Amino acid sequence: MTCLAHAALCGSLLVSSGLTLAARQNTRPITPPAVIESMYGPDLYRHYCATCHGADAKGNGPVSVALKTTPPDLTILARNRRRVFPESEVARVIEGGKAVAAHGSIEMPVWGPIFRSLDPSVTRVKVRIAALVSYIASIQQK
């Protein structure tokens, strides 16, 4: 192979590799999906709750500073109620059946109606809410 042919081949491979790498790079911001397939409580919490309540559920998520009311520390709900986790109350808050200042009024609740509008399956909506309640129960301080 001549030097010129070798140079042409190498140049062609470099251009081809560069185009392949450029095609793989995503220069647009990634928008997370509105509905995640997972029904696992920790996944649901991270996707839907952590921005306000924080990854550690202590009310210090990145959005919390922009809210009128600081989100509660979800790890001490049982401690504040004589070590009894308020399961039905937490479910009502998530469903939108109980007014919470940071979530808006009862006329403008958060997750129950949002889950219902994003997923036509009533069963999956109920499973998501139950999984979130169960996860929040599991992270209570002893």
Categorize the per-residue pLDDT at 13 as very low, low, confident or very high, splitting at 50, 70 and 90.
very low
The predicted model gives 47-56 an average pLDDT of 93
Examine the pLDDT at 30 and tell me if it is beyond 60: yes
What CA–CA distance (Å, rounded) separates 43 from 24? Answer: 27
Q: At what angle do helices 87-95 and 111-118 cross, to 10 degrees?
A: 60
pTM of the model: 0.71
Q: Which is more confidently placed, 8 or 53?
A: 53
Phi-psi region at 140: left, alpha or beta (left = phi > 0; alpha = psi -120 to 50): beta
Q: At what angle do helices 41-48 and 122-138 cross, to 10 degrees?
A: 90
Categorize the per-residue pLDDT at 19 as very low, low, confident or very high, splitting at 50, 70 and 90.
very low
Question: For residue 4, what pLDDT is reported?
Answer: 39
